[in-house]
């Protein structure tokens, strides 16, 4: 299976971002991708953290969701839509949500980000809970014999999220659409991605924001696809681009047979 992770440097304008995403999805389709993964906040990197509230959509309706369904259908790909802001019952919060569409444009999975990022060092501060409501459920979907687990960005730091997705049956591929900060990404991004691949004996496809945004924020980028032995198959450091790699079920089976760590897990009952 060919998988494409799409790296963007999204702007504060939704229409501009959708046009850029569409062009990159077209490239992914030309390169043979079965599944394409957009980055977190692909549709908007606002000038302020509250801008996302102004473009939030009700589930099942709105221009961003219509774009994703239409793009999946036009390009003939499975499409994991990075993350988009969906409405909650709270007027000052959104859900940060991945929606997955099949090549006919049908919604096949939804995941609301569970872990909300917070970081402060000198003048650099992030607190997603100021504008985002936390999701509660894990989510996965099946694609041509592959079981695919969903996560978003900060979830990467919580191995129990990925273990929960692989219990009782393992996921074969994890998606990690992200907008890692430059500060944290430089030290931790690849380390954490490779750890999640190795400990779960699974492929990891991580699509990222990667560059200097108009709001002044700098994201780390380094979108990459990693195999179940922890090898980086393909990567792009900064700037817009499409990273494609081939995922192999035989490779997955060989790794899991030679190192049957998933079968050796001990369940602690407390």
List the catalytic residue out of 57, 153, 238, 240.
153
List the catalytic residue out of 113, 128, 171, 238.
113
Distance CA 43, CA 82 (A): 9
- Pairing verdict, β 124-127 and 232-236: unpaired
**106 catalytically annotated:** no
The reported pTM is 0.97
CATH topology of domain 2-260: Nitrilase/N-carbamoyl-D-aminoacid amidohydrolase (3.60.110)
- Enumerate the H helices of the chain as residue ranges: 14-30, 51-54, 63-75, 159-165, 182-200, 249-258
List the catalytic residue out of 27, 40, 57, 240.
40
**43 catalytically annotated:** no
Of 248, 164, 181, 193, nearest to 217 by C-alpha is 181
Please give the backbone phi and psi of residue 241, each rounded to the nearest 5 degrees, phi first.
Answer: 175, 170
According to DSSP, residue 102 is labeled -
pLDDT tens across the length of the chain (270 residues): 999 999 999 999 999 999 999 999 999 999 999 999 999 999 999 999 999 999 999 999 999 999 999 999 999 999 999 999 999 999 999 999 999 999 999 999 999 999 998 888 887 888 899 999 999 999 999 999 999 999 999 999 999 999 999 988 999 999 999 999 999 999 999 999 999 999 999 999 999 999 999 999 999 999 999 999 999 999 999 999 999 999 999 999 999 999 999 999 887 776
Residue written as tokens 């390169």? 31
Of 191, 225, 193, 223, nearest to 210 by C-alpha is 223
Instruction: List the chain domain ranges.
Output: 2-260
Q: What is the separation of C-alpha 3 from the centre of its chain, rounded to a whole number of angstroms?
A: 13
């Amino acid at each position: 299976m060919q998988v494409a992770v799409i790296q963007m440097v999204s702007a504060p304008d939704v229409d501009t971002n959708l046009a850029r995403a569409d062009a990159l999805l077209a490239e992914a389709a030309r390169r043979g991708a079965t599944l394409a993964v957009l980055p977190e906040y692909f549709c908007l990197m606002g000038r302020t953290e509250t801008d996302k509230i102004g473009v939030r959509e009700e589930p099942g309706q709105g221009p961003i969701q219509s774009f994703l369904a239409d793009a999946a259908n036009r390009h003939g790909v499975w499409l994991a839509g990075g993350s988009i802001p969906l409405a909650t019952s709270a007027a000052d919060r959104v859900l940060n949500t991945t929606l997955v569409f099949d090549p006919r444009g049908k919604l096949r999975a939804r995941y609301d980000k569970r872990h909300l990022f917070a970081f402060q060092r000198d003048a650099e501060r992030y607190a997603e809970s100021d504008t985002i409501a936390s999701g509660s459920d894990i989510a996965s979907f099946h694609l041509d014999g592959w079981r695919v687990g969903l996560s978003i960005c900060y979830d990467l730091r919580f191995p129990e999220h990925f273990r929960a997705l692989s219990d009782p049956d393992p996921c074969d591929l994890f998606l990690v659409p992200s907008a890692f900060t430059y500060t944290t990404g430089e030290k931790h991004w690849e380390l954490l991605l490779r750890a999640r691949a190795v400990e779960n004996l699974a492929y990891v496809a991580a699509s990222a924001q990667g560059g200097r945004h108009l709001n002044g924020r700098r994201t780390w980028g380094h979108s990459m696809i990693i195999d179940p032995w922890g090898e980086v198959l393909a990567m792009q450091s900064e700037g817009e681009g499409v990273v494609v790699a081939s995922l192999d079920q035989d490779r997955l089976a060989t790794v899991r047979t030679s190192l049957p760590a998933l079968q050796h897990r001990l369940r602690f009952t407390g």
